[in-house]
Structure 1
């Protein structure tokens, strides 16, 4: 990787942590300059404005979390274990989140529900992708005989993602991982009771 590309990557990576922790509105160009150690001219050599940095920073943050989800999924054999692994990735969200500041999709969606339309659109696409992954796992479980076939993958994927994201928010808000751990335990019981074939 050439020096210019390395500089660009450094701006994206360090800005991603800033944006995911403080939000788009809470990060100034001066803070990006301070964090990266790159002067304004150097920043503008690679990006035309703060928006462009924020959009690429969001993509970077999501890619880091996605790679951790993928690694967790790859270690699990059953569809049930694969669903629970989403919660395992965030089991220590307070002290050691998969990305600095917590869930990029959640943070971006909450901040930009009435704000930055391009960032909000990116968060919606992330949700769509996550829902598709969960639905695929549910369908695999149905096809291999692990899950009941009368379950609805669409509504179940919404339930599972809402449970995950809600418990992330509560744990971050309260500074206590117990919320996500309790939710994971209840989701696990729900899946065993209502989805797993007896």
Structure 2
């Protein structure tokens, strides 16, 4: 990695938590310079504009979540246990290096759905990718006899995602950790009944 690539990566790593907490609109150039210790010229010498920084920051935050999930899934052998990773990781998210500010999909979807088409598309792509991972696991589990052949794969995947994202939102909004536990128990029940 050359110096320019290292600087670009540094900017992304330092601004990713800011964008995830404050959102695109709430993140100012001052926030970016404060987070990085760099000048406006240094930031915009590496990125064309705030949009490019925000898009790269979203990708960075999504990768962080993906790495956590993949590392935990790699420790499991059955499809059911791999799906249960979502329950265990999200129920115990403080034990993992999650992005500061919470779930980047939820944060970005709420802010960008009507205001920033490029960020919205990143969030849409992340949801489709997540759905694909879950549906692949369910289909593989059905082929291996772990899950019922009558499972509605897409409905189950979408329900799991909606429950997990809703869980994050409700817990963050209310500060009630017991709500997170209750909702994640419902996700666990869905997986156990496949």
TM-score (norm 2): 0.94
Which residue does the alignment assign to 1:40?
Answer: 40
The equivalences for 1:4-19 within 5 A come to 4-19=4-19
The equivalences for 1:128-143 within 5 A come to 128-143=128-143
Distance 1:175 1:86 in 2: 20
The equivalences for 1:42-191 within 5 A come to 42-93=42-93, 98-191=98-191
Segment drifting more, 70-79 vs 93-102: 93-102
Q: Secondary structure at the match of 2:26?
A: coil
Distance 1:35 1:148 in 2: 50
Distance 2:28 2:112 in 1: 16
Which residue does the alignment assign to 2:23?
Answer: 23
Distance 2:92 2:191 in 1: 22
Q: Structure 1, residues 38-69: CA drift from partner, whole Å, max 9, x if none?
A: 00111111011101100111111111111111
Contact 1:94 1:177 in 2 (8 A): no
Distance 2:28 2:46 in 1: 17
Distance 1:51 1:141 in 2: 40
Q: Identify the structure with the greater helix proportion.
A: 2
Q: Secondary structure at the match of 2:25?
A: coil
Aligned length: 194
Q: Structure 1, residues 147-175: CA drift from partner, whole Å, max 9, x if none?
A: 00011111110111111111011111122
Segment drifting more, 12-21 vs 93-102: 93-102
TM-score (norm 1): 0.92
Aligned CA distance change for structure 1 residues 97 and 165 (closer, same or farther; 3 Å): farther
Q: Which runs of 5+ in 1 are unaligned?
A: none
Distance 1:20 1:65 in 2: 13
Distance 1:177 1:85 in 2: 19
Q: Secondary structure at the match of 1:59?
A: helix
Q: CA RMSD in A?
A: 1.6
Q: Structure 1, residues 111-160: CA drift from partner, whole Å, max 9, x if none?
A: 11111110001100000000000000101110110100011111110111
Distance 2:177 2:69 in 1: 18
Q: Secondary structure at the match of 2:115?
A: coil
